[in-house]
Amino acid sequence: MATRAIKQRTARCMGRNVAALLFALFATTPSMTQAAVESVAPVKLWCDGEAGGCTYPTDIEAAKAVELTYNSRYAATNPYHAYLVIVSCNGGGLCLYHFVNDLWTTVDGPLYLRRVLGCPIPMINPAIPYTYKYASGMCEREAQCPAPNTINPATGQCVPPEILTITLEGGTTTEPGTSLPFIATIKNQDNQPPKTPVTVKISLKVDSTSGGHDHGDNTRPRGGIANVGTCPSDATCWSEPSPANNGVVVFNFNAPEAAGTHTITATCEGCSNAATKAVDVKVNGIEPIPNFPYYALVETNGDVIGATDLHSNNHNLLPAAAGVLMRIAVNYHFHPKLRVLDWKTNTMVLPPPLHINDASLVWGGKFDIKGKWTGSHAEHMRGTSVDLRANENVGAIPPELFEEFDKRLMKIIPGDVTAEKFLRECSPNEKPSESNPNPVQHNRRPENYCVSQVDGSFDANRHYHVRLLGE
């Protein structure tokens, strides 16, 4: 009787398995759907033959359920105290049973289990089951993990959304015209990278009057980020998604030629903060030219020589260059071959102290004389060059001393080449502009003492440009 019952059960299982296999689909991980519905893919489950008994993820579990049900249902009531033992299952629904009674009669035989597609038991609130929906082909129930929370697929737990923070690492100073690397790192509240790629946005600002540029304005070059040469505004200049889940974006800050303080700001989609980093674009080591009795940095009326409203602090050099300038000043003032004629007394007298015009701005960098962030004067960037007055103003080196002064410069200035240690400079030819499309090209040349080749007028800008360190 018992044997027959088992055989019938196994036969039913076999027949149903065919239908179940036809209905089979691959299981998927749970995901959130819209309108607060929690939806999971159906999974294959093994049945124990009871109503609502297709709930077992493995065949051995289903078989053990059969064993338990049978023994509790029949063993106590049958006269032979027969009981059933499941010996093994092959994972495909074929199990081996061992049937024994108290008459020591044993029967071994196969037990065939069926498998159907069904809804898994929810891990969160398992008392609220999924219901299979034909329309979607999914198992659904009212969401137990409402947005913005999400279910962690690994743990099945409903977790709150990631709270992302961004940090910015990189240097704080760089030289004009160079690149400085930065790393933006995004982490969540667990100090882990974000689980999905996040777009990082970088913007760049510049303190418009920093670096000695008193004329600061909103056209001031900010520099660039990564492959963007110049950021045109304070808005986002460059953005990039962090590569797959590592939360790190690397980029360069491309410093402009003008020195100053720049602020790099990094944000990201979903970040709770903005990371900023201030970078001083400057030539390191530049210092104010020290006072010295044999050169003059100010006029007798107290005005700083060469200073303008655009750049009021124009007397800065590297200390080594300032040392050479001092030697040049001492030589100029005391060298016995460098004497000037005093017309009042008709005697040769010591020349006045050298009058020092533009050197470098406080942090070096581009010295845009006209305050337009462009133009030459390029060699005044590094704290190594200085202009010495050589026109017809008070304190200027007179033309009759040019040759001897040239010789002194060649001997004193370091370097093994001679010709490029200094230049005598005149005003450059004026370039056409909208307001003056055809300017007069005076073409003032140093060998002609900066006298116009057009009308013979003298160039009041004549000066020595001295490369104090030989470069």
Partner 1 sequence: MKILLNCIIAILLALVARPGVAGLLPGEGIVRDPVTGNYTATYVEEGEDGKDWIEKADFETATKIDPTVRSKFRHAEGWNTGYAYTINNGNAAKQAINNFDLDGLPINVVLLNTTPLLGSGKVVLEEFFDSAMTSPSEKWSGSGARNGQALNIGWLCRGWDHTTKSHNTASGIQPGESASGFGFTSPDLPGVFVAKLTGNTRYHHFSFSGPGPNPYRSDIGKEMAKIANNDFIPRDVAAPLIIVPDVFNAAIVLDRIRAHVATWAGRQLVNPAFAAQLDRYLVAAAEAYRLNNPKAGKEHLETLRRMLAKEHHNVDHDDEDDDDGEERKHATRFSIDRLAARVLDFDLRYMLKRMEHEHKESEHKKGRD
Among 28, 152, 429, 457, which residue interacts with partner 1 (rule: CB under 8 A)? 429
Question: In sequence order, what are the residues at sequence separation of 6 or more whose Cβ sits closer than 8 angstroms to the Cβ of residue 451?
Answer: 444, 457, 458, 459
Nearest distance from residue 334's CB to partner 1, in Å?
5
Nearest distance from residue 416's CB to partner 1, in Å?
6
Q: Between 80 and 334, whose beta carbon lies closer to partner 1?
A: 334
Nearest distance from residue 282's CB to partner 1, in Å?
19
Contact 230, 224 (CB under 8 A): yes
**With b meaning 16 or more CB within 10 Å and e meaning fewer, what string describes 152-182?**
eeeeeebeeebebbbebebeeebbbeeebeb
CA distance 184 to 128: 44
Q: Between 99 and 373, whose beta carbon lies closer to partner 1?
A: 373
Q: Between 181 and 414, whose beta carbon lies closer to partner 1?
A: 414
293 strand-pairing partners = none
Task: Please report, as residue ranges, which positions from 360 to 419 form the binding site for partner 1 (by CB under 8 A).
Answer: 368-370, 372-379, 399-400, 402-404, 406-408, 410-419
Question: Any contact of residue 334 with partner 1 (CB under 8 A)?
Answer: yes
Among 76, 291, 431, 438, which residue interacts with partner 1 (rule: CB under 8 A)? 431
Question: Any contact of residue 423 with partner 1 (CB under 8 A)?
Answer: yes
Among 99, 238, 449, 458, which residue interacts with partner 1 (rule: CB under 8 A)? 449
Q: Between 32 and 326, whose beta carbon lies closer to partner 1?
A: 326
Nearest distance from residue 461's CB to partner 1, in Å?
10
For partner 1, which stretch binds (CB under 8 A), given 19-27, 158-166, 334-342, 343-351?
334-342
Structure tokens given for 210 = 């920093």
Contact 166, 185 (CB under 8 A): yes
Q: Between 263 and 418, whose beta carbon lies closer to partner 1?
A: 418
Q: Between 131 and 347, whose beta carbon lies closer to partner 1?
A: 347
Q: Between 297 and 409, whose beta carbon lies closer to partner 1?
A: 409
Q: Between 123 and 378, whose beta carbon lies closer to partner 1?
A: 378
Neighbouring C-beta atoms of residue 123, cutoff 10 Å: 13
Total residues binding partner 1 (CB under 8 A): 54
What element of type H or E holds 62? helix 59-70
Question: In sequence order, what are the residues at sequence separation of 6 or more whose Cβ sits closer than 8 angstroms to the Cβ of residue 35?
Answer: none
Nearest distance from residue 455's CB to partner 1, in Å?
15
Question: Any contact of residue 319 with partner 1 (CB under 8 A)?
Answer: no
Q: What's the CA dihedral at 74, 78, 81, 84 to 10 degrees?
A: -30
Nearest distance from residue 283's CB to partner 1, in Å?
14
Task: Please report, as residue ranges, which positions from 126 to 185 form the binding site for partner 1 (by CB under 8 A).
Answer: none
Q: Between 142 and 430, whose beta carbon lies closer to partner 1?
A: 430
**With b meaning 16 or more CB within 10 Å and e meaning fewer, what string describes 369-387?**
eebebeeebebbbbbbbbb
Question: Any contact of residue 107 with partner 1 (CB under 8 A)?
Answer: no
Question: Any contact of residue 445 with partner 1 (CB under 8 A)?
Answer: yes
Closest by CA to 147, choosing from 229, 246, 57, 37, is 37
Q: Calculate the alpha carbon distances from 33 to 119, 145, 196 in Å.
A: 16, 11, 18
Question: Any contact of residue 440 with partner 1 (CB under 8 A)?
Answer: no
Beta strand pairing call for 260-268 and 275-281: antiparallel
Structure tokens given for 390 = 């050589």
Among 146, 153, 232, 428, which residue interacts with partner 1 (rule: CB under 8 A)? 428
Nearest distance from residue 413's CB to partner 1, in Å?
6
Walk across the sheet containing 422-425 and list its strands: 385-389, 463-467, 422-425
Question: Any contact of residue 217 with partner 1 (CB under 8 A)?
Answer: no
Peptide bond preceding 148 in cis form (omega within 30 of 0)? yes
Q: Between 393 and 429, whose beta carbon lies closer to partner 1?
A: 429
Structure tokens given for 59 = 């065949």
Residues at the site binding partner 1, with contacts judged by CB under 8 A: 327, 330-331, 334-337, 368-370, 372-379, 399-400, 402-404, 406-408, 410-420, 423-429, 431, 433, 443-447, 449, 465, 471
